[in-house]
């Protein structure tokens, strides 16, 4: 099995650049400082076929799908239902059409599914008579690993202020966003993970997100081979912060792809900034 994580977005809730901000990172011409809202696509090749598992449906999901080039997914996993992670849900309709109008399987904690059913009541209303919407089948999980599209997904619970958030492990790759605390029991679930994409908002502590030093410590405790940080705000300039990090850790960036290959090696498929499509040249 080969597990690739594609970072569809590496930015915090307001994105980078942030509307109205004139700081040097928001004004940076470097495409790696342009961050859509945080999301990843797991591309898993097993038995010769690729399964695409989308994690979260951000307000930027349309741009993210166009930029990445995927037109359908095998499933959607929800970390939690904050607006920056789920309020692109309506845009799943084009991905539903791309998948041949096969209902999309969506997995979340029970409270996440309940919240989506309330926020997007029309999508889940069988009697809603406008047909241009996605059909979504919801599924819930708790602590046990569950099967999605022939793959085993292990939920990794983490703390995000007063709520829980689900991280996800597939094979030896894992994604954890929006957390100020990864409990010891969840560090255990990360043991053996080689590639981790992990929340690191900024340099200073924050009540609901990890700081860069905290995230580095979690990655060290878990013993991962490579870590890329995500959910990054405009405090962290890509090149200058990267030059301060140990070799196994880097700031992630939009469109970065990294994988755990069949033989267990970790590969990073770096994209040169000049090779990024024009859609990221926001200003």
| Six token digits for residue 245 | 């990090």
Beta strand 2-9 pairing with 257-260: antiparallel
Cα separation, 83 vs 97, in Å, equals 24
Interaction between residue 36 and Zn ion (CB under 5 A): no
Single residue of 26, 54, 75, 260 touching Zn ion by CB under 5 A: 26
Interaction between residue 83 and Zn ion (CB under 5 A): no
Cα separation, 102 vs 81, in Å, equals 23
Nearer to Zn ion, 133 or 159 (CB): 159
Q: How far is the CB of 14 from Zn ion (least distance, A)?
A: 9
Contacts (CB under 5 A) with Zn ion, residues 92-151: none
Neighbours of 147 (CB within 10 A): 8
Q: How far is the CB of 253 from Zn ion (least distance, A)?
A: 16
Match 């100020």 to its residue by tokens: 180
Q: How far is the CB of 163 from Zn ion (least distance, A)?
A: 8
Nearer to Zn ion, 74 or 84 (CB): 84
**Cβ contacts of residue 247 below 8 Å, gap of 6+?**
none
The strands making up 163-170's β-sheet, listed across from edge to edge, are 146-148, 151-160, 163-170, 173-176, 195-199, 226-230, 249-251
Interaction between residue 82 and Zn ion (CB under 5 A): yes
Cα separation, 138 vs 124, in Å, equals 9
Interaction between residue 78 and Zn ion (CB under 5 A): no
Contacts (CB under 5 A) with Zn ion, residues 146-175: none
Per-residue x/- marks for Zn ion, 210-249, CB under 5 A?
------------------------x---------------
Interaction between residue 199 and Zn ion (CB under 5 A): no
Q: Are 206 and 232 in contact (CB under 8 A)?
A: no
Interaction between residue 84 and Zn ion (CB under 5 A): yes
Segment near Zn ion (CB under 5 A), from 67-75, 83-91, 115-123, 262-270?
Answer: 83-91
Positions touching Zn ion (CB under 5 A) are 13, 21, 23, 26, 82, 84, 178, 234
């Amino acid at each position: 099995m080969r597990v690739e994580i594609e970072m569809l977005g590496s930015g915090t809730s307001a994105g980078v650049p942030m509307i109205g901000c004139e700081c040097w990172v928001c004004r940076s011409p470097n495409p790696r400082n342009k961050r859509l809202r945080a999301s990843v696509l797991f591309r898993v090749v097993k038995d010769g076929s690729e399964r695409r598992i989308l994690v979260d449906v951000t307000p930027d999901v349309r741009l993210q799908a166009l930029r990445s080039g995927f037109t359908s997914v095998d499933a959607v996993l929800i970390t939690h239902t904050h607006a920056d992670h789920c309020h692109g849900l309506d845009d799943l309709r084009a991905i539903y059409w791309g998948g041949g109008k096969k209902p999309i399987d969506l997995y979340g904690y029970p409270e996440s599914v309940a919240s989506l059913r309330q926020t997007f009541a029309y999508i889940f209303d069988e009697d809603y008579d406008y047909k241009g919407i996605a059909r979504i089948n919801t599924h819930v999980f708790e602590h046990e690993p569950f099967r999605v599209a022939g793959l085993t997904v292990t939920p990794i619970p983490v703390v995000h202020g007063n709520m829980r958030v689900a991280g996800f492990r597939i094979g030896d790759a894992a994604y954890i966003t929006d957390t100020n605390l990864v409990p010891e029991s969840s560090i255990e679930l990360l043991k053996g993970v080689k590639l981790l994409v992990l929340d690191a908002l900024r340099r200073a502590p924050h009540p609901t997100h990890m700081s860069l030093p905290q995230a580095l410590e979690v990655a060290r405790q878990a013993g991962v081979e490579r870590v890329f940080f995500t959910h990054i705000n405009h405090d962290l300039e890509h090149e200058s912060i990267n030059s301060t990090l140990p070799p196994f850790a880097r700031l992630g960036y939009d469109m970065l792809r990294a994988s755990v290959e069949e033989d267990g090696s970790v590969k990073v498929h770096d994209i040169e900034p000049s090779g990024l499509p024009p859609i990221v040249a926001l200003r």
